[in-house]
Amino acid sequence: MRLFLCEKPSQGRDIAKVLGANRRSDGCLIGPEITVTWCVGHLLEAAPPEAYGKHLKSWSLDHLPIIPQQWQVEVKPKTAAQFNVIKRLLSEARTVVIATDADREGEMIARELLELCNYRGPVQRLWLSALNEASIRKALSSLKSGQETFPLYYSALARSRADWLIGMNLSRLFTLLGRRAGYEGVLSVGRVQTPTLRLVVDRDRAIASFVSEPYWEVDVHLSSMGQPFIASWLPPSSGSDEAGRCLEQALASQTVEAIFSSKTATVLSLQTEHFREAPPLPFDLSTLQEVCSRKLGLGVQETLNIAQALYETHKATSYPRSDCRYLPESMFNEVPTVFDALLETDPALRPALGSLDQSLHSRVWNDAKVTAHHAIIPTSELANLARMSEQERQVYELIRSHYLVQFLPHHEFDRTHVELECGEERLTAVGKQILVQGWKGLLYENTEEDEPNQKAQALPVLQQGTHCAVDDVELKSMRTAAPKALTEGDLIKAMKNVAKLVNDPRLKQKLRETTGIGTEATRAGIIKGLIDRGYLLKKKRALIASAAAHTLIESVPVAVTDPGMTAIWEQALDEIEAGRLSLDAFVAKQVNWIAQLVASCGSLTLAMPIEAGPVCPICDASMLRRKGKSGPFWSCSHYPDCKGTVPIRKDTRRP
């Protein structure tokens, strides 16, 4: 029997349909000489510390560091029945085809089962980027060898063990140090979550320490041949800061009077530049999350859930957890089929599709830049828009439009910079003339953020020596603005582009070659975890770090909170995947590092904020306010040793 091992039931049903495995059985679908079964995500989990010794169930500094000599995994109780189904099927299988998600976590989900169940037969790999029938048939015709993707398993295993070592040891260490300081909550520390938390804490600090300063601008309303435009005053260096802002109100007021008195401004020079803006590339996951956060107000986990539903349930888009924004050259031949499916899915697209050039070969078609997955794009499957929720349709239309603009020309425009003289004062004006609307006729996306409005103004015909009338002069009182609080989309972007925060040139270059903090598949979960633990608080769209989060970041060693270091760890996982670093060598380095941290931090004194709560009805310990699926509740501060809870009434914080 040939066994196909999928990651989720929906994935299993799609593959079984193509394979002709239509007979239902317990936890699987059966066909001629073929059985399709599925996991429910991870069926196994890393064993807790107490699995390596009963004495480790209690939290004590004397037990740290906890270093497993022989790593163990356990079957998750909630999915034990499906594990038993897979275990039985593996004992009967002659060949296994791994059909889990095409990434390192998908590889681990399957391989850890093969390992625990002692399967030693042949292994092949089904590598899917979309779950529509055409994509499945194409992948079935070109199965990879199991050996080809095996390094992905070691990479995921390294990630899992590093997370365990850091999370179990440092969370216990700092929780115990916090209790010593009177804080009874659990202080969770993670290999990725803690540097991510620091990004928000640093932004909070920048906002809190910011001192707003006044400055003044002078806008001059000019006209030439009856056509008005606006120029800005260029203050002298003696009265301005490094950003060219005038800091002296008296100087700005004197300038207004002087310009009024001059009545005319003369053009000193003009410089026109021609610009061609290529269409924005299709999405990878993080860019999709950024855009959906900014345009639709969606959380990053919400966006991932929607993208996953568009991929799995609706078959409307390709694999969502991609870190790539390019497409393989071979997919260019599929363009007419995709267009036909889009038109049949949404007939209202006909006018827009009629303006597109299907023969246009944009920069998106680039084999050299395609990673394990290609960009997120519409599939050639006929989708049912009526079955999509409003948010699903909005995200789908964003993905669709970023694919369609590849078949429109560049947006072209001229930008003219003008320098003028008005008495002894210097002015500057910027104008923009659109020559080819191009892709912006279908998708407007401002590629120059916070561009002043006057940069888009139309200038009259000017030349050197042209005299322009001064129609009005406007003195504007301004204040420097504090940095904005991060949104979830901003945080995703910061996690991905962490190289910008690093000064070391060699480290910066290495970081540019990696994906930053976390991966496309894990970033949303990291942010959600920080929110659920109460480290991050949401105020409308803004993220703010809690008092406990600030104290934790101040107390944890810089090496743990440093985003650059975390990104280097991610790079090490890529090295394992590429076969250039062994799993054992990586884990050994983590073990040594953890031992050093525990030794150096054991005597720290934390200044933790204390949050009072009611008394636990089970053990009489204090309780902490936590947030669950059904809202906030009081939880015993000795969790997980004590699982006492008390509900919070709607009209008060106290029970």
* Residues 499-537 pLDDT 10s: 777 676 766 666 666 667 878 878 999 999 999 888 999
12 and 134 assigned to the same domain: yes
Q: What is the pLDDT of residues 66-106, one digit of tens each?
A: 999 999 999 999 999 999 999 999 999 999 999 998 888 89
Q: Tell whether the model's pLDDT for residue 594 goes beyond 90.
A: yes
Q: Within a domain: residue 468?
A: yes
Asked if the model's pLDDT at residue 449 lies above 50, the reply is: no
Query: Which pTM does this prediction carry?
Result: 0.80
Q: Which of 385, 404, 423 is the last residue of a domain?
A: 404
Residues 269 and 168 in one domain: no
The predicted pLDDT at position 133 comes to 85
Q: Residues with Cβ < 8 Å from 563, sequence gap 6 or more?
A: 195, 196, 198, 199, 495, 498, 501, 502, 516, 517
pLDDT for residue 650 is more than 60: no
Say yes or no: 203 and 235 in one domain. Answer: no
In tens, the pLDDT along 157-177 reads: 999 999 999 999 999 999 999
Give the pLDDT confidence of 23-75 residue by residue, as tens digits. Answer: 999 999 999 999 999 998 889 999 999 999 999 999 999 999 999 999 999 99
| Mean pLDDT of the residues in the chain | 89
CATH code where residue 71 lies: 3.40.50.140
Whether pLDDT at 645 is above 90: no
Which one of the listed residues 153, 319, 535, 639 is annotated catalytic? 319
Query: Are 29 and 18 spatial neighbours (Cβ–Cβ below 8 Å)?
Result: no
Asked which of 601, 628, 647 is the last residue of a domain, the reply is 601
319 is catalytic: yes
Span 165-219, pLDDT tens digits: 999 999 999 999 988 887 767 889 998 899 999 999 999 999 999 999 999 999 9
Q: Is residue 436 part of a domain?
A: yes
- Residues 451 and 382 both lie in one domain: no
- Distances in whole angstroms, Cα of residue 334 to Cα of each of 38, 361, 379, 380, 381: 30, 13, 10, 8, 12
User: Which residues, 6+ apart, have CB-to-CB distance to 259 below 8 Å?
Assistant: 218, 220, 233, 265, 422, 423, 425, 470, 473
**Domain co-membership, 321 together with 422:** no
Q: At 421, which CATH number?
A: 2.70.20.10
3-state helix, strand, coil in the chain (%, to 5): 45, 20, 35
Residue 54 lies in a domain: yes
Domain count, the chain: 4
Residue 322 near residue 376 (C-beta atoms within 8 A): yes
Mark whether 15 and 138 lie in a shared domain.
yes
273 and 417 housed in the same domain: yes
Looking at the fold, whether 93 and 130 belong to one and the same domain comes out as yes
Centroid of chain to Cα 291:
10
Residues 118 and 10 in one domain: yes
Domain end position, chosen among 574, 601, 628: 601
Residue 65 preceded by cis peptide, ω within 30: yes
- Give domain status of residue 569, yes or no: yes
pLDDT of residue 625: 67
Domain membership of residue 50 (yes or no) is: yes
Over residues 229-258, the mean pLDDT reads: 93
In a domain, 630, yes or no: no
> By three-state DSSP, how is residue 127 classified?
coil
Q: Would you say residue 609 lies in a domain? A: no
Same domain for 63 and 130, yes or no, is: yes
CATH code of residue 531: 1.10.460.10
In a domain, 651, yes or no: no
Report pLDDT digits (tens) over 264-314: 999 999 999 999 999 999 999 999 999 999 999 999 999 999 999 999 899
Residue 140 pLDDT class (50, 70, 90 cuts): very high
Lowest mean pLDDT among 343-347, 560-564, 622-626: 622-626
Whether residues 473 and 387 fall in one domain: no
Domain range for 355 is 285-404
pLDDT at 561 over 80: yes
Do 253 and 382 sit in the same domain of this protein?
no
